[in-house]
Structure formats: C-alpha cells, structure tokens
C-alpha cells in the first residue's frame, strides 16, 4: 500500500507540475521580451512545447492510477509507458532550462523560471527512479508487488 501511494503521488505531482507550467506558457505568463525585435518568432516552438508538456502531464496522471491496479499485466504496461514518458519529460526540459538560464544571466525572474524547469526535470527523474523500482518489483513477482 505504501508503494502504491508513493507511485501515485510522484506521478501525479510531476503531471500536475507539467500541466501547470504548460498552461503558463499557453497563457503567455512568461515574457520573451529579452528577444527584442525577434519577440514572437518563438511562438510556434513555445506552443508546441506547451502542448507536449500538457499531454505528458495528463498522461502521467492517468497512468499513475493505472500503475497501482492489481492486474499485473496492466500495471507493468502502465509502468513501462511511465518510464518512457518520464524520459521524454526529462528531455523536453533541456531547451527551456538552457534558454531561460542563458537569458537569465543577471535577471532574477528568468532564473526563477529556469528553476521551475529544473524542479520539473528533477521530478521527472524521481518518477523514473520510482517507476523503475516498481517495475522491477512487479516483474520479479515479489510478494509485495501486488501493493505497488
């Protein structure tokens, strides 16, 4: 039961954070004024990133609930997909983390945005670790795997 809560809490936390930051990008909460006269050229890429982040967030939340069911095959499938999604979540944090850090040199607000992406990066890494542990326990068929 404790592993169930851990798995669900971690996947849902990462999913909600991913949803939150994607909504911030979609609603243009973050300013790209540092681009100067090129501001607006990033719209397509930011919109694409926000859509992918939104889908990852929703997927993590839904799969988090599937990963705690008692059917072994369904649980293993959900955990495998969570592992893939968490790797994707880690990968999509690199561009905004790099650019907000680069643009944030000397600007506190931009560095705060970079820190938000760093936190999301760390959450995704932790989801990967927890999911890998749950996968190994379920795959081995440990006596506690029914509670994962």
Nearest by Cα to 89 from 57, 130, 67: 57
Asked if residue 63 belongs to a domain, the reply is: yes
Q: Which residues contact 13 (CB under 8 A, 6 or more apart)?
A: 123
User: What 8-state DSSP symbol labels residue 71?
Assistant: -
| Residue range of the domain that includes 76 | 2-25+41-142
Task: Count how many domains the chain has.
Answer: 1
Does residue 15 lie within any of the structural domains? yes
With respect to residue 10, please indicate whether it lies within any of the assigned structural domains: yes
pLDDT at 128 over 90: yes
Indicate whether 33 belongs to any domain. no
Asked whether residue 31 is assigned to any structural domain, the reply reads: no
Is 147 inside a domain boundary? Answer: no
Question: Where does the pLDDT of residue 148 fall: very low under 50, low under 70, confident under 90, or very high at 90 and above?
Answer: very low
pTM summary value: 0.82
In-domain check, residue 93: yes
pLDDT digits (tens, 9 = 90+) for 4-31: 788 889 999 999 999 999 998 888 787 6
112: three-class secondary structure by DSSP: helix
Backbone angles phi, psi at 141, to 5 degrees: 80, 35
The secondary structure element, H or E, covering residue 127 is: helix 108-140
The alpha carbon dihedral of 12, 17, 19, 20 has a sign of positive
């Amino acid at each position: 039961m404790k592993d169930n809560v851990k798995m669900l809490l971690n996947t849902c936390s990462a999913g909600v954070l991913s949803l939150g930051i994607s909504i911030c990008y979609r609603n243009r909460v973050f300013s790209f004024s540092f681009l100067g006269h090129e501001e607006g050229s990033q719209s397509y890429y930011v919109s694409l990133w926000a859509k992918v982040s939104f889908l990852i967030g929703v997927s993590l939340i839904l799969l988090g609930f599937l990963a705690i069911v008692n059917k072994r095959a369904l649980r293993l499938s959900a955990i495998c997909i969570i592992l893939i999604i968490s790797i994707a979540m880690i990968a999509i944090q690199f561009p905004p983390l790099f650019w907000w850090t680069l643009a944030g040199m000397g600007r506190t607000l931009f560095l705060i945005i970079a820190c938000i992406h760093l936190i999301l990066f760390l959450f995704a890494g932790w989801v990967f670790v927890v999911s890998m542990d749950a996968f190994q326990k379920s795959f081995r068929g440990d006596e506690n795997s029914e509670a994962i």
